[in-house]
Structure 1
Amino acid sequence: MTALLCTARRYSDHMHGESADCLSLTYDDRFLRRKVLTCESGEQILVDLSQTTSLNHGGTLVLDDGREVEIQAAPEALLEVSAPDLTRIAWHIGNRHTPCQIEKDRLLIQVDHVIRDMLLKIGATVREVHEPFNPEGGAYGHGRTHGHAH
Structure 2
Amino acid sequence: MIIEQIVGNLDDISVSGRHIEKIYLSSDDLVKRIQRVTTDHGKEIGIRLKESKDLMDGDILFMDERNMIVISVMSDDLLVIQPANIKQMGEIAHQLGNRHLPAQFEGEVMLVQYDYLVEELLEQLDVPYSRQIRKVKKAFRHIGHHHG
Calculate the TM-score normalised by the size of structure 2.
Answer: 0.69
Question: Are residues 1:30 and 2:40 paired?
Answer: no
Match of 2:97 in 1: 95
Deviation at 1:13, TM superposition (A): 5.1
Counterparts of 1:1-150 in structure 2, within 5 Å, are: 6-12=1-7, 14-15=9-10, 18=15, 20-50=20-50, 53-62=53-62, 68-85=68-85, 87-88=89-90, 91-92=93-94, 95-96=97-98, 97-134=100-137, 144-148=141-145
Greater Rg over alpha carbons, structure: 2
Note if contact 1:30-1:55 (Cα within 8 Å) is conserved in structure 2.
yes
- Look up the SS of the partner of 1:72 in the other structure: strand
Aligned length: 137
Deviation at 1:44, TM superposition (A): 1.6
Q: Which has the higher contact order (CA 8 A, sep 6+)?
A: 2
Note if contact 2:56-2:139 (Cα within 8 Å) is conserved in structure 1.
no
> Which has more helix, going by share of residues?
2
Deviation at 1:37, TM superposition (A): 0.7
Give unpaired runs (5+ residues) of structure 1. Answer: 1-5, 138-143
Percent of aligned pairs sharing the same letter: 19
Calculate the TM-score normalised by the size of structure 1.
Answer: 0.68
> Which has more strand, going by share of residues?
1
